[in-house]
Structure 1
Amino acid sequence: MIISLIVFLVGLVFGSFLNVLIYRLPLGISLLKPIGSACPHCNYKIKWYENIPVFSYLFLKGRCSSCSDSISKSYPIVELITAAVTLMLYSNFWIGWDMIITISLFYVLIVLSFIDLKYRAVPDYLLIIVVILAILVGDIINILLFTGGFVLLELAITFYIQNIKAKITQNKELENQRALGEGDMPIVGVIGGLLGVQLGITAIFLAAVLALLPAIYNLYSKKEIETAFIPFLSLGLLVTIFSGINLFTLFT
């Protein structure tokens, strides 16, 4: 119990660091300078006791102590997700390189997911890192198989959207729309490399089902918002790993 609590707290600390990556990397801000965090609204340098994961957010009631502007809820959410994932992986892996690499891989997926949610685009070097980590603990053949297969699927669906659906609906905006983002393909490959064919397809199917929820909401609320798919792919991977759900055996 004590060890689990320590692992969870360590996960909170790493989650705080992931928040730094999520904020700075898309803006091209150095990770070394400036040292320490600052309020994005008033540039107030946050004191160490105001930067304790989750607890400081609750203590400050989600507002900057200097300008009283609201602090994004994504900060404690990232910290709690990171802590939970760390504890889950620790509980299911022997301590060793495989655990360290797998946890690192999920940390990168968390960073990619939240950047994708905000910008609908992700840095290529993070995708390369997550693929390298997957190769170290997964099957490179399945990585290539899944990536190649979904490139062809994306090509076919994009052709339908741009050339058929656009003409049927008379919507010119669809002429430049793609079925999947370029950043989704490496994540699909990572899922295949980690889970294999059957569980990999299960995870991707689950991700697609989960992604339908915001897509339907946007449709009915008449919001033209592109759905970020990397968070759902990451969630599908996580759920499949820990639940062991397999569509191929579920219906046989």
Structure 2
Amino acid sequence: MELFSFIFGAVFGSFLNVLIIRLPKGESLFTRSHCVYCNEKVAWYHNIPIFSFLILKGKASCCKEKISLQYPIVEILSAFLTLFLFLKLGLSSSFFLSVVFFYVLIVLSFIDFHYKAVPDYLLLLLLILSFFVSEYDFITNIKNACLLSGAFILLNFLVTFYIQNIKAKLLKDDSLKEQEALGEGDIPVIASFAVILGLQASLMVMFFAALFAIIPAIYNKYKNKEIEIPFIPFLSLGFIVEYFFEITKVIF
């Protein structure tokens, strides 16, 4: 069953790649896979999760353009998360609900990474799913979601005020006057984490996310001259660490 869960995750990871590529563009999800460079249809034997990338040596079979590393990364990530969820939850309804939650989180993370914006309907879906995954009662879930998302909004206001009104003047950079500290899409993601993990563990998620984002943020600023970085991928990484390793329970 462990091997089956890994293969199951890899196969669905291939479909998640389709969602990541096509949803932001409004393309149909039900047409055959095609090369993003030359639009040539991809044969089924060139569309085997993980293995096809290795066999083709990272190049498209039709036009020999480089295949994005996103494809094997998403497939491997999906495979391992599915395996770890199976080991944690066993074959149960909680397992299947959690798998769907993590798959939506993967899609959101990679779309945010590429576009620095995510579809609202995916955020709503993630939040709704969190209530089914949570072990807490409905009222506690609502309370936790509201408290943490409210705290997140307050944090966003304070940091944004500092950036726009203080940092902009200190650096004499007018572009900072329009800069938002955090994106609105981060709020429902944080709320969904609060529903599943509770307040204390979700605060640990935010700490991990900020920690993981430090080096990429510095690199992005000085290498690419960009101030804004996608934060949902780092929130997701922090959530994965806390969900599986339960650091909060170890510390407190």
Identity of aligned residues (%): 50
Q: What is the DSSP-based 3-state SS (H/G/I as helix, E as strand, rest coil) of the residue aligned with 1:246?
A: helix
Counterpart in 2 of 1:94?
A: 90
Residues of 1 paired with 2:98 and 2:62: CA distance? 39
Range moving further from structure 2, 20-29 or 139-148: 139-148
Q: State yes or no: 1:77 paired with 2:73.
A: yes
Q: CA–CA distance in 2 between the matches of 1:52 and 1:95?
A: 25
Q: What amino acid maps onto 1:28 in structure 2?
A: G
SS of alignment partner, residue 82 of structure 2: helix
> Are residues 1:12 and 2:14 paired?
no
**Deviations for 1:1-40, whole angstroms, at most 9, x for unmatched residues?**
xx211110110000000000000000010112xx211001
* Matching residue's letter, 2:88: N
2:46 pairs with 50, 58, 63, which one?
A: 50
Aligned partner of 1:164 in structure 2 is 166
CA distances 1:80-130 after superposition (whole Å, capped 9, x unpaired):
000000001111013222211111111000000000111111001000000
Please tell me the residue identity of whatever aligns with 1:84.
F
Structure 1 residues 126-205: aligned runs within 5 Å? 126-138=122-134, 139-205=141-207
Aligned length in residues: 246
Q: Normalization by structure 2: what TM-score? A: 0.94
Distance 1:245 1:51, change over 3 A: same
Deviation at 1:225, TM superposition (A): 4.7
- Mapped partners of 1:60, 1:36: distance in 2: 19
Residue 243 in structure 1 maps to residue 245 in structure 2: yes
How many Å separate the matches in 2 of 1:24 and 1:218?
26
CA-CA distance at 1:230 after TM superposition: 0.4
Cα distance in structure 2, aligned partners of 1:140 and 1:53: 38
Which is worse superposed, 236-245 or 12-21? 236-245
- Cα separation, partners in 2 of 1:163 and 1:88, compared to 1, 3 Å: same
Q: By how many angstroms is 1:167 displaced? A: 1.3
The code of the aligned residue for 1:124 comes to D
- Could you tell me which amino acid in structure 1 is paired with residue 173 of structure 2? N
* 1:105 aligned partner, one-letter code: F
Secondary structure at the counterpart of residue 182 of structure 2: coil
TM-fit CA distance, 1:140:
2.6
Q: CA RMSD in A?
A: 1.4
In the alignment, the residues of structure 2 paired with residue 140 and residue 4 of structure 1 have an alpha-carbon distance, to the nearest angstrom, of 35
TM-score, normalization by structure 1 = 0.94
Consecutive unaligned residues of structure 1, counting only runs of 5 or more, are none
Structure 2: tracts of 5 or more residues without a match:
135-140
| 1:159/1:186 CA distance change after superposition, 3 Å | same
1:112 matches 2:114:
no
Distance 2:64 2:55 in 1: 13
- Rounded Cα–Cα distance in structure 2 between residues aligned with 1:5 and 1:137: 24
